[in-house]
Amino acid sequence: MKHKLIFLIFTFYVTLSLNAQCAMCRAVLESGEDQSAAEGINNGITFLMAVPYILVASIGYIIYRKFNKSEKSKN
């Protein structure tokens, strides 16, 4: 359990500094004067990218727990 918690904290810390923009979006937004728009778009891309991974991981965990629970009850 301790290893899982450390891994989760490490993963969260690493993902805080990720830049999720493609090269063309970054070039267009960095050439402008308003950097807050670029940061907002970058955050939006990061959130849109994270949602499918969270959903797939949740479904996978539920399926794993269901099959793992049924094996324990048979023994």
CB 41 within 8 A of CB 25: yes
In this prediction the pTM is: 0.49
d(CA 55, CA 20): 19
pLDDT, position 4: 82
The set of residues, in sequence order, having a beta carbon less than 8 Å from that of 30 and lying 6+ positions away, is 38
Predicted pLDDT of residue 42? 78
Q: At 42, list the tokens.
A: 């970058």
Q: Is the pLDDT of residue 63 over 80?
A: yes
Does residue 71 have a pLDDT over 80?
no
Is the pLDDT assigned to residue 1 strictly greater than 90? no
Give the pLDDT confidence of 8-46 residue by residue, as tens digits: 887 777 766 666 566 777 777 777 777 777 778 778 888
